[in-house]
């Protein structure tokens, strides 16, 4: 049945109801919201379904086309998996903000104008930070404030770019903008911050590992994918994105190799996968854009699955540090198997979902003559195998026996992981019947030809051989109890040190200036008190005759000055 209900509305209503309900009623309500919303999407019309006039501009809160519908289905699916995973928690704050967060993401992808998109962009920022603070540790509180500061910076930059663009063009419709448009660089900078562009990525690796076990699953599904959607919509074919994306696939590998916190490893891995998508947006062909959209879809599944598996480990052991884990497969075999499915998917092993999407982007790079970029993506694929395909499951479940014997996580957590794992396999085996039929651009692609399969299998075999050789010979970096900083060193170490140094230098100057000002002010007060105080000359009562003389003198002076 066709419906014109705004797709974001059920989530916002569910957020309000989650605040006043408890127990099974709240769980049923939250679980039903993405299911009902997805069913409504199957009957939603196409085009601009809702428009309002504001200050002479036509706003379109709901605009439905193939691209927005694809991401709409993705966010409803992601919300269902994340809600199912979080059902065992009894934290009202997390549930309310998770529903608002999902509603903000859905609202953003269906926004047909830039103003509505900006409003939902801010809903994403404000609601998501509470999923970090909800862990209620000093580290989470501090990381949340740093996260919020950069998210607000993204919003301010986006608003500035939109104001320039709208003022220059008079257009508010959210369509292709391009870098050459007025304000285009500001807009892409704002989107790039939320997408994890190099040197703008530090909020992701800083805050995601400090969030709650369930909050990290929501976080990995919405913010960055919403930025990918906006880049696809507004900046497809922007050539600088090719090189930015290629670098994004490359640099996180080296940080992930030396990182001890496995959720932080996954955060670097997320930047790596986002790099493939950004590169595909820059390539701009129908094949590349389909690869970007499909890889965003699959990333929600396999990255969500990996974050869920590490969240299960964190819930049952209290840590995700590789140096403190190992041997968990003995008492967590189901979680181990599900994690391996996620690792195989992100590594793009044939018959898993990552293979049928990542190869589209790489093929598009070759088709357009970007051979060097293709080599970067090829190297990055090996890096993914190392830090996400091997390191995550190996050090969490199979490495040195930590002596921990935790039980399996709650059944709802395992059910959510099972749903994601099943979809990773089904999409990988039957891409044409599942994923490809939803893609928004007209391009045909067949992943299971001999060249693609043989090339990928050879790549994976040699990559795995290199990793195991380094482990056996002691050349693989050991897990050390340390916090590794990359670009966030600037604002977590350099900036505070500079402020303290500046305070030491300027403090004597400030003290001297303050004392001088106080001394001058004290002298002025003493002078005024001398003449206007109780015994001052100007405070006495003057005779009428004296006052008349002074008035005459002042009048004479005024007349002389006026005529001269």
- Residue 531 has a pLDDT of 65
Residue 197 half-sphere exposure toward CB, CA atoms < 13 A: 18
Q: Which two tokens stand for residue 530?
A: 């001398």
Instruction: Give the model confidence (pLDDT) of 221-277 as tens digits.
Output: 999 999 999 999 999 999 999 999 999 998 998 888 888 999 999 999 999 999 999
Helix (H, G, I), strand (E, B) or coil at 510: helix
pLDDT band at residue 345 using 50, 70 and 90 as cut-offs:
very high
How high is the pLDDT of residue 535?
Answer: 65
d(CA 286, CA 370) in angstroms, rounded, equals 16
Give the pLDDT score at 1.
43
pLDDT digits (tens, 9 = 90+) for 91-103: 999 999 999 999 9
Length of the chain: 564
Q: Which helix (H) or strand (E) holds 58?
A: strand 57-64
Question: For residue 545, what pLDDT is reported?
Answer: 67
Averaged pLDDT for residues 360-368: 94
Of 387 and 370, the one with more pLDDT:
370
Q: Residue 59: beta bridge partners?
A: 52
* % of residues, the chain, pLDDT over 90: 67
Give the pLDDT band (50/70/90) at residue 460: confident
pLDDT tens, residue by residue, 319-330: 999 989 999 999
pTM assigned to the model: 0.88
**pLDDT of 114 higher than 70:** yes
Contacts of residues 42-46 at CB distance under 8 Å and 24 or more positions apart, as own/partner, are 43/1, 43/2, 43/3, 44/2, 44/3, 44/4, 44/5, 44/7, 44/69, 45/2, 45/4
Q: What is the DSSP string of 395-445?
A: IIIISS-----PPPPPHHHHHHHHHHHHHHHHHHH-TTTTTGGG-SS----
Write the pLDDT tens digit of every residue in 153-185: 999 999 999 999 999 998 999 999 999 999 999
User: Which of 70-79, 307-316, 377-386 is predicted least confidently?
Assistant: 377-386
pLDDT recorded at residue 554: 81
- Is the pLDDT at 355 greater than 70? The verdict is yes
Say what the pLDDT of residue 546 is.
66
pLDDT at 561: 78
Give dist(CA 358, CA 341) in Å, integer: 17
What average pLDDT does the segment 504-509 reach? 80
| Radius of gyration of the CA atoms of the chain, in A | 30
Q: Which two tokens stand for residue 471?
A: 């482990």
């Amino acid at each position: 049945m066709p419906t014109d209900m705004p797709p974001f509305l059920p989530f916002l209503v569910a957020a309000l109801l989650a605040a006043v309900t408890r127990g099974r009623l709240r769980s049923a309500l939250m679980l039903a919201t993405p299911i009902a919303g997805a069913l409504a999407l199957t009957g939603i019309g196409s085009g601009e379904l809702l428009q309002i006039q504001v200050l002479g501009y036509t706003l379109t809160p709901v605009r439905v086309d193939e691209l927005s519908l694809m991401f709409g289905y993705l966010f409803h699916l992601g919300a269902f998996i994340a809600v199912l995973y979080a059902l065992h928690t009894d934290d009202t704050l997390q549930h309310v903000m998770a529903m608002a967060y999902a509603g903000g993401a859905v609202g953003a992808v269906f926004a047909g104008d830039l103003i509505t998109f900006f409003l939902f962009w801010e809903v994403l920022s404000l609601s998501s930070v509470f999923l970090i603070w909800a862990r209620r540790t000093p580290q989470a509180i501090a990381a949340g404030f740093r996260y919020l500061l950069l998210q607000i910076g993204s919003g301010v930059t986006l608003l500035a770019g939109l104001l320039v663009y709208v003022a220059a063009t008079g257009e508010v419709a959210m369509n292709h903008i391009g870098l050459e448009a007025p304000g285009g660089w500001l807009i892409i900078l704002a989107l790039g911050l939320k997408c994890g562009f190099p040197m703008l990525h530090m909020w992701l690796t800083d805050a995601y590992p400090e969030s709650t076990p369930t909050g990290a699953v929501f976080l990995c599904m919405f913010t960055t994918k919403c930025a990918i959607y906006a880049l696809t919509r507004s900046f497809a074919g922007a050539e600088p994105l090719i090189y930015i994306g290629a670098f994004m696939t490359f640099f996180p590998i080296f940080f992930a190799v030396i990182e001890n916190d496995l959720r932080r490893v996954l955060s670097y891995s997320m930047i790596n996968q986002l790099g493939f998508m950004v590169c595909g947006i820059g390539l701009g062909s129908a094949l590349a854009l389909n690869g970007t959209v499909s890889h965003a879809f699959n990333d929600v599944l396999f990255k969500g699955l990996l974050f869920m598996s590490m969240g299960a480990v964190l819930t049952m052991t209290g840590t995700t540090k590789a140096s403190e884990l190992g041997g968990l497969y003995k008492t967590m075999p189901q979680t181990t198997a599900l994690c391996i499915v996620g690792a195989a998917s992100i590594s793009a092993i044939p018959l898993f979902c990552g293979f049928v999407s990542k190869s589209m982007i790489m093929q598009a790079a070759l088709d357009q003559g970007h051979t060097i970029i293709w080599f970067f993506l090829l190297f990055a694929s090996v890096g993914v195998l190392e830090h996400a395909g091997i390191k995550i499951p190996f050090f969490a479940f199979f490495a040195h026996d930590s002596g921990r014997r935790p039980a399996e996580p709650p059944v709802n957590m395992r059910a959510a992981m099972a749903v994601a794992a099943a979809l990773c396999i089904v999409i990988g085996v039957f891409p044409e019947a599942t994923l490809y039929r939803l893609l928004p651009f007209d391009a045909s692609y067949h992943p299971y030809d001999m060249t693609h399969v043989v090339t990928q299998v050879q790549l994976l075999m040699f990559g795995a051989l290199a990793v195991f050789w380094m482990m056996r010979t002691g050349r693989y970096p050991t897990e050390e109890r340390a916090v590794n900083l990359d670009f966030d060193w600037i604002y977590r170490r350099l900036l505070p040190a500079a402020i303290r140094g500046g305070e030491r230098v300027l403090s004597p100057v400030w003290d001297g200036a303050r004392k001088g000002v106080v001394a001058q002010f004290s002298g002025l007060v003493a002078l005024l008190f001398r003449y206007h105080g109780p015994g001052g000359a100007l405070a006495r009562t003057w005779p009428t005759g004296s006052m008349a003389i002074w008035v005459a003198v002042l009048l004479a002076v005024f007349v002389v000055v006026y005529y001269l």
